[in-house]
Amino acid sequence: MSVHMMDTTLFGGSMGTPEMRSIFDEKNLLQSWLNVETALAKAQSSMGMIPKDAGEIIAAKADIALLDLEAVKASGKVSGHSLLGLLGEFRKVIDHDYSRYVHFGATTQDIIDTGFILMIRDGYDIVQDRLGRCMHLLSGIVTEHADTVMVGRTHGGHGLPITFGFKAASWLSELGRQLERLQEARSRILVGNLTGAVGTFASWGDKGIEVQSKTLDILGLGTPDICWHSSRDRIAEVMNLCSMLAATAGRIGRNVYHLNRTEIKELEEPSKGKIGSSTMPHKKNPVHSEWIMVLERTIRANASICLEAMGQEDEREASRWKNEWITVPETFVMLSGILNHLEIVMGGLTVKKDQMLKNTDILKGMLLSEQVMFLLEKIFPLPQAHSKVYTASVRATENGSHLLDELMADQEIAETCNREDLEKALEPAGYLGLSSDVALAVKEKAQTQLSQITG
């Protein structure tokens, strides 16, 4: 039976995608190590360091399906070593004198770190693809609702009117910046390491730099300027990028969650076939938004663990390094879950335009107090105009009356202002600023950004 919830039959599908799981599962982990060993052998063969055909003979058997994994496991129990059991079984299946050239001059961490980066690269591609799909769906929402009037909220209360397209564009813009960060950091993060026991290439002599360069070229990874066995900033960076993306998704999920509240009911997640409660048949819960928020917290916590792992001692040690083996796969799988939930929400979000408009009148005109104040400023000094609107707002709140009536109860206002002008100033659609223009500009920028990564 599974111990971690993300590996359970019941909850696994909510916490990650099969696509991402396949990248970080145990067989692919071990295969990544074989891939690094193969690339190393090919590079050394091409350089004449080992027999010319050794690389191809080794590569021909570099398939994890050929190895006895139970024997690998048994060896690990005895030796306590991460890689020796795999190397022993790999040499057995090669069944050739050239098997002695497997792992020729490399150290265990060279293989494990570089294999880890291969998996991160594949996970990175999935994250960028999923993020792009979410942004595409969100772009459509921005366009459709660029002029949909709703309440803009500050400090938990009604502030001024905005459009839902404007709100969605703030989500889109933030996702776009996360995509930019991922793209900008890619070459810095996706770098392998093949430098020997303490990183000096001692086992390969003056050919060490070339061995590393050729091996990493075969694998399609960048080459470091110096060994990074103890420099864990690359892993910490990708984990923090994942954490920031998760946090952005968390903000969007939280917005959808709160606007789904019964008292507000401006948004609704796709919920066909979903049962909200075993005892309350009427419930329709925002389950996707909830999962986004659940997974986000774990990912952010994992990022902090990888920052701790940067405190490596000396040239190499494992008391921090192995924390990455737990946190990185978990984070990538959970981030795939978050992006999957976000894509579902963006693809089936119900926007209740009538309810949004209705909610703009909950304060009975006070949502437009700023516009009224600037209208009165044409007659009274601004501080006095502010004071008059403030006083009228207090009375409207206390009396449960409309702001317009309380304004007209002020004799000076009644004598100098036309009621129709004040009434017009209290129309939400007339005080949206540049909501629509800004939202559509953000959408256009996002579309350009997406075309560059798909074109």
Catalytic status, residue 155: yes
The alpha-carbon radius of gyration of the chain (Å, integer) is: 30
Compute the C-alpha angle 318/321/324, nearest 5°.
145
Structure tokens at 341: 């939930």
Classify 152 as helix, strand or coil: strand
Active-site option among 2, 79, 213, 277: 277
Catalytic status, residue 145: no
Query: Helices (H), strands (E): how many in the chain?
Result: 19, 4
Compute the C-alpha angle 362/367/369, nearest 5°.
140
Active-site option among 155, 278, 282, 451: 155
Do 205 and 114 contact (CB within 8 A), yes or no?
no
Strands, DSSP E only, in 42-176?
149-154, 157-163
Compute the C-alpha angle 85/224/201, nearest 5°.
60
Residue 277 phi, psi (nearest 5): -155, 145
Scanning 145-197, the segments in alpha helix (DSSP H) are 164-189
CA distance 98 to 299: 44
Do 305 and 327 contact (CB within 8 A), yes or no?
yes
For β-strands 149-154 and 267-268, DSSP reports them as: unpaired
CA distance 257 to 287: 9
Other CB atoms within 10 A of residue 268 CB: 17
Question: Residues with catalytic annotation?
Answer: 155, 277
